[in-house]
Amino acid sequence: MANRVLLSRPAIQPTPVNFSRRLAKILGRDWKVALLFVLPMVVIMGGLIVYPFINAITLSTTSLNFLTGETVYVGMRNYEKLFTNSDYLLSMQNTIQFTLISLAVKFAVGMIIALVLNSRLPMRNILTGIMLLPWIVPEIVTALAWKSIYDPIFGGLNPILMGLGLIDKPLGWLSDPYLAMSSVITVNVWKGIPFYTILLLSGLKAIDREQLEAAEVDGANVIKRFQHITLPGLRYVIVVTLLLSFISTFNSFGLIFLMTGGGPGGATRVYSILAYEKAVRSLQYGPGVAIALSVAPLMAVLIWLLSKFMRRDDSNAAESRKASISDRILELAGRFIAWAMDLFFLPFELVLKGFEALSKAIAKRVKTDGRGLFKQAERERMSLVMRLLILLPILIFVVFPFYWVIITSFKTTPQISQRVSIFWPDPWTAEQYTSLLQATPFLTWFRNTVIVALSSTVVSVSLAALSAYALARLKFLGSGLLTTFLLITYLLPGTLLFIPLYQTLTSLNLINSYGALIATYPTFLLPFATWVMLGYFRSIPVDLEEAAMIDGASRIVAFWKITLPLAAPALLSVTLFAFTNAWNEFLFAFVFITSESLRTLPIGLQSLVVGDILPWGQLMAASILMAVPVVIIYIYAQRYLVEGLTAGSLKG
């Protein structure tokens, strides 16, 4: 009997339970559920970002032997040649010039707009909405609109400047090597103003008004208050904004390519265009990838700095007194910026002091009804007028391209070519829209864009919601590393990936198909959507889910019925943002799609331009029709889009 008992004990087998517990200790308490949630994102990110990036590094060490048609290993020779290649050196010079000037102007204009919009203004919401319009306009529409405005024969800029007496003859803004770069920078500034305005305005709203009022009572003028209270309060937002903008501006491709193609004479050829020309047009994949990867070290440093800021915890920073390398770098940068700001504001402060002295002198000599010349109401009225006068030229700069596109689309072709009634259609006609729909495959391009945008948005947002929830709620090994990797892929420029992705898609027989775009669009939609959703999930109280699980609900049920409905605003925000980005995307569609029947709207509109022949009427009509869905979405959910960019992405 005892033997039977002893023989029956192994049937209990407690070992698997112990093994499961040990595995949970190693991999984390929720590793099984987390695996289901994050695995799809990891597969996509690994297959379409990590693998192509590693493949790009390998590819950059090869070169095509045109005599044998074979690819041979050349080591670091492609990189060594760059430092003596005049085209590469000129492209880097153009890239740096384009980036630094664009950033400086966008920051200055964006700060001015944010300061004005943050004050008391009539119709402030409407003015804010107008200032944000360039952000939602597709890149192809922006390029075509400004290309039309710049046109030396049919454009609207030359007649305006000649009418004002600023020039005496028409100028070739995009064909003159001395004017092309400044012209392209102007368009980049126009397109980038909303991004700066959104983030800086959100930062201004977070500054304590009582502190500003106390400084005013103590006698600090408007410049002193801005210099010593507003700017320090915006330091986090300013650094994040500038770093994000630097990364995107430095890696610009579509806008410059569509407007000038890198010309004239290489005057606007930035490094991304040179990489495209080498790899895709000349089929020199190795040298082309080497050009693209030559900026990878700089991007790595910027992404590292930005990740330190975007994942920064001020409370922990206050507890820890050990300064990291990034903190020291930023401290030195802060000191330099403070010194530069003191120098920059010095003349403004002197002018302001002069005005204050003049106002006091007038107030002493001139009196009205015993209360002085400058009463409080009059000062506020004068301040309002000054703010509106400051905003007016910027408002005209923002609105004029929209006005030009609309009126051009309703002109007849003879009216455009003969330059009759330049700034007003006479007569108004819809013939450009009719010819566009009947004589071009516009409806096919529209259908393709809808299919690609909807499919990639559904895939990206669905996987982002699952991944973000796992990173925000579940305990599993590697969650911190995955969050960091997510941020890196969120910031990784598409210009570093499109060449190896082209080869990967070719090997998978996906090139020139819907699948090429639906598979690759999540590489830039999924990281952003996950980052925003992560911030929102962290802000939802975990007690609600725990209560549901105590009542018997599983983790998946709690996510589906409790957390996801509460995150509906964030879900709508990332859905709209993902859709508009997929709708407007140019680079991947341009490289991966060659068949006319599969072209999306950005590529279709670009194909309407044949050599030097530009059907401006059709192009402007197509631009209007392409922008309409995005504008409708923007009007319907402007608040959610803004909240998603300013809140969720920074909370994460």
Digit-coded pLDDT (tens) for 71-92? 788 889 999 999 899 999 999 9
State how far the Cα of 479 lies from the Cα of 483, in Å rounded to an integer. 6
One domain for residues 96 and 120? yes
Digit-coded pLDDT (tens) for 102-115? 999 999 899 888 88
Out of 290, 305, 320, a domain closes at: 305
Kindly tell me if the per-residue pLDDT of 646 is higher than 70.
no
> For residue 451, what pLDDT is reported?
95
pLDDT winner (highest mean) among 328-337, 455-464, 545-554: 455-464
Kindly tell me if the per-residue pLDDT of 314 is higher than 50.
no
One domain for residues 546 and 489? yes
What integer is the mean pLDDT of 231-254? 85
Contact between residue 473 and residue 546 where contact means Cβ atoms under 8 Å apart: no
**Residue 19 — very low, low, confident or very high, per pLDDT cuts 50/70/90?**
low
What integer is the mean pLDDT of 522-548? 83
Angle between helices 376-409 and 180-205 (to 10 degrees): 130
> For residue 321, what pLDDT is reported?
43
Determine which of 231-240, 289-298, 315-324, 521-530 has the lowest per-residue pLDDT on average: 315-324
Concatenating the DSSP letter of every residue in 405-457 gives HHHHHTS-HHHHHTT-STTS-SS---HHHHHHHHHS-HHHHHHHHHHHHHHHH
Residue 384 within any structural domain of the chain? no
Kindly tell me if the per-residue pLDDT of 637 is higher than 70.
no
Kindly tell me if the per-residue pLDDT of 399 is higher than 70.
yes
**Residue 441 — very low, low, confident or very high, per pLDDT cuts 50/70/90?**
very high
One domain for residues 208 and 193? yes
What does the DSSP 8-state code read for residue 6?
H
One domain for residues 176 and 51? no
Residue 427 within any structural domain of the chain? no
Of 600 and 328, the structure prediction assigns the larger pLDDT to 600
Concatenating the DSSP letter of every residue in 52-106 gives HHHHHHHHTTEEEETTTTEEEE-TTHHHHHHTT-HHHHHHHHHHHHHHHHHHHHH
One domain for residues 486 and 508? yes
Residue 1 within any structural domain of the chain? no
Sign of CA dihedral 381, 387, 390, 395: negative
> For residue 198, what pLDDT is reported?
84
> For residue 648, what pLDDT is reported?
47
One domain for residues 480 and 494? yes
**Residue 316 — very low, low, confident or very high, per pLDDT cuts 50/70/90?**
very low
Digit-coded pLDDT (tens) for 324-382? 555 566 566 656 666 665 666 556 555 555 655 655 565 555 554 444 445 556 666 77
Of 535 and 347, the structure prediction assigns the larger pLDDT to 535
Kindly tell me if the per-residue pLDDT of 261 is higher than 80.
yes
Percent of the chain with pLDDT over 70: 80
What integer is the mean pLDDT of 127-134? 83
> For residue 182, what pLDDT is reported?
95
> For residue 135, what pLDDT is reported?
80
Digit-coded pLDDT (tens) for 467-485? 988 888 888 887 777 877 7
What's at 410, amino acid-wise? F
Whole-number CA gyration radius for the chain? 29
Terminal Cα-to-Cα distance of the chain (whole angstroms):
64
Digit-coded pLDDT (tens) for 29-38? 777 888 888 8
Out of 305, 336, 352, a domain closes at: 305
One domain for residues 47 and 163? no
Closest to 586 in 3D by CA, of 191, 178, 89: 191
Determine which of 3-17, 415-429, 452-466 has the lowest per-residue pLDDT on average: 3-17
The CATH number for 55's domain is: 1.10.3720.10
One domain for residues 264 and 157? yes
One domain for residues 528 and 591? yes
State how far the Cα of 470 lies from the Cα of 32, in Å rounded to an integer. 11
Residue 373 within any structural domain of the chain? no
**Residue 137 — very low, low, confident or very high, per pLDDT cuts 50/70/90?**
confident
Q: Tokens representing 6?
A: 């002893």
Residue 366 within any structural domain of the chain? no
Percent of the chain with pLDDT over 90: 25
Range of the domain at 172: 61-305
One domain for residues 157 and 135? yes
One domain for residues 209 and 285? yes
Residue 397 within any structural domain of the chain? no
**Residue 649 — very low, low, confident or very high, per pLDDT cuts 50/70/90?**
very low
Residue 586 within any structural domain of the chain? yes
Kindly tell me if the per-residue pLDDT of 95 is higher than 90.
yes
Q: For the chain, how many structural domains are there in total?
A: 2
Name the residue with tokens 């699948």.
515
Average model confidence (pLDDT) for the chain? 80
Q: Tokens representing 473?
A: 């709620």
| pTM, 2 dp | 0.81
Closest to 429 in 3D by CA, of 196, 630, 617: 617
Kindly tell me if the per-residue pLDDT of 459 is higher than 80.
yes
Kindly tell me if the per-residue pLDDT of 439 is higher than 80.
yes
Of 330 and 60, the structure prediction assigns the larger pLDDT to 60
Kindly tell me if the per-residue pLDDT of 291 is higher than 50.
yes
> For residue 387, what pLDDT is reported?
80
What integer is the mean pLDDT of 404-408? 92
Out of 305, 333, 357, a domain closes at: 305
Residue 293 within any structural domain of the chain? yes
CA distances to 133, 420, 505 from 75, in Å: 47, 60, 25
One domain for residues 54 and 174? no
Strands (E), 463-608: none
Of 511 and 34, the structure prediction assigns the larger pLDDT to 511
> For residue 482, what pLDDT is reported?
82
